[in-house]
Structure formats: structure tokens, C-alpha cells
Structure 1
Amino acid sequence: MLRSIATKPFLSDFGILILRVVTGTLLIHHGYEKLANIENFADAFVRPLHLPFPILLSYVAAFSEVIGSWLLITGFLTRFGALAIMGTISVAIYHAIITAGFNIYLLELLGLYFGAAVAILAVGPGLFAIDELIVRRFSSELEREQSGTIDTVVSEGGAA
């Protein structure tokens, strides 16, 4: 009894839904802010890292946050969205450490976004996601095709 309360999943798909929607909703505005003033973002965050093509990389960061957030919120291509967010946040963590050291006030929010993206990447989107609807749709068609193939093979094999 104690084990089922303490360690068994309890509404895990609902918890993943909450994690996806909250993370995506809170992160999406960062991408829109970058797009609103891409030059400023490039000057403040990309050029100090001496990366090539700072404007292009700024757009990549902004769109990975915006598109990745929408993918998390909707649950469509969820793991790709989580991977895009994880990549962008990794660079942001690197930037924060290089420019300010291990400043917990700069790293805590980045760490939470990174942890959420890693968790979603590892666990998947859960049942309340468009990905799940797509998988259900195609897996039922695939099962019908496979059972039809098996029935055909069995009936042909039995006739021989």
C-alpha cells in the first residue's frame, strides 16, 4: 500500500501535460522578446561568445524557443520541441557561466527550463498530446495491416 502511494505513477500523464504547458507558456515570451529586437539580443548574448553569424544564431535561438514552446504546449512533435529548447538553454547556461560565473540567480531559471526539457525529452509527451493521437491513429492502421498480412500468410500456408 505504501509503495503504491509513494512510488507508483499517480496521474503521470496529467503531470506531464502540466509540465509541458507551463514550461512552453512561460518560455515562449523569451523567444518573442528576442524577435522583437534581434540586434540587441545578438549584441548582448551572441557576440560576447564570439560565435559566427550572430544575427543568424539569434534567429535560431528565438525560433527554437517560440516553435519549441508551441510544440510543447500542443504536444505535437514534442520531443523535437524539447530538444530545440534544451539546445538553446544549454547555450544560455554556457553564456551565463562565462559572463557571470556560477551566479544562482541567473542559473536557476535556466536550470528549471533545462530540467523540464530533459524530463519531457526522456518521458515523452504523455497521453494528452497530439503525438499520442497520431500514434493511436497509425498504430491501429498498422495493426490492421499486419493482422491482414498474417491472416493471408496463414490462409495461404494452410492451403499448401
Structure 2
Amino acid sequence: MLRAILSKPFLADVGLLVLRVFTGALLIHHGYEKLANIENFADAFVRPLHLPFPIVLSYIAAFSEIGGSWLLITGLLTRFGALAILGTITVAIYHAVITAGFNIYLLELLGLYFAAAAAVLTVGPGRLAIDELIVRRFNPEMRPETKTADDAFASSDTLAQGAEA
């Protein structure tokens, strides 16, 4: 019975949900801050990298953080959201290394965002996501990999009865 409650696949999906929601919720404000003063962001972060079209790239960075965060939080097109965040954070890590060297205080938060986005990109959103609902809607024959709790309880009762005999 304990195994049915604490089954690994369900907890893995809960872990992915927590990772997605917290990463998106904590990152989204960075995008809104960029939009609040886009010119300042372009001057401080894009122009020092000598990239073309700093204002356009600043808007892309802001919208990838906002849009990517919402996609992570909702679990809709999750891998696209993670890819958008991963791209923006990669440029942010490059900027931090170029301007300040390997400063752990600048890189630790960026590294955590990078790792979270990379994990969601590679593993997927898990079953507790809108993506999963869409897949199940268009593929009704798709069965979950794990049994339902009732099936797990029934099979553990059957095993227990067999052991008693």
C-alpha cells in the first residue's frame, strides 16, 4: 500500500511540476523588469556584447522570459518555453562571464535557471501538464505507464493473499 502512494512515477511528475512552476514564477519578473525600462536593459546588457539591434534583442529577451515562464507554469508547449528560457539564460551567462569573469554570485542564479530549463527541455513537462492532456485527447488509446491507485491497491491485496496461502 505504501508503494502505491509513494510510487516513483507520480512523485517524478510532482517534482517536474514543482520545478516548472517555481522556475517560471521566479523568472517571470525578470522579463517584466526588462520591459519596464527596455532602453536601460539594452544599454547595460546588450550593447556591451556588441550585438546588432540591441533594442530588438532586448524585447526578444524580455518576451522569451515572460512567454517561456508562462509556458513552463501552465505546462503548455513546455519544451518550447524551456528552449526560449535556455537561449536567453545562455546569453546572460555569456554576458556575466565576459563582463565580470567567473563570479559565483552572478552565475549561481543563472546556473540554476539554466539547469531547470535544461532539465525540463530534456525530460519534458511530466504528466501534470496541459501538454499531457492534449496528447491524451488526440490519442485516447494511450494508457498511463503506471497503474491507478485502485489497481495498485488491488494488486497489492492479491499479492498479500497469495503470500498468506
Q: TM-score band, normalised by the shorter chain?
A: 0.7 to 0.9
Distance in 1, matches of 2:141 and 2:42, equals 48
| Aligned counterparts of 1:24 and 1:64: Cα–Cα separation in 2 | 11
- State, as a whole percentage, how many aligned pairs show the same letter: 83
Give the direction of change, closer, same or farther, for the CA distance of 1:87–1:39 in structure 2 (3 Å limit): same
Q: Secondary structure at the match of 2:140?
A: helix
Distance 1:36 1:141 in 2: 47
- Quick one: distance in 2 between partners of 1:57 and 1:10? 39
- Post-superposition offset of 1:9: 5.2
The CA RMSD over aligned residues, in Å, is 1.3
Segments of 5+ residues of structure 2 without an aligned counterpart are: 1-7, 143-165
Q: Secondary structure at the match of 1:125?
A: coil
Note if 1:49 corresponds to 2:66: no
How much has 1:140 moved relative to structure 2? 1.6
Distance 1:141 1:35 in 2: 44
Deviations, residues 4-50 of structure 1 (Å, cap 9, x unaligned): xxxx6560000000000000000000000000000000000000000
Q: Quote the offset at 1:141 in angstroms.
A: 7.4
The size of the alignment, in residue pairs, is: 135
Q: TM-score, normalised by structure 1?
A: 0.82
Residue 86 in 1 paired to residue 47 in 2?
no
Give the whole-Å Cα distance in 1 for the aligned partners of 2:128 and 2:55: 36
Structure 1 residue 134: Cα displacement: 0.1
Any unmatched runs of 5+ in structure 1?
1-7, 143-160
TM-score by length of 2: 0.80
Give the distance between the partners of 1:60 and 1:10, measured in 2 at CA.
36
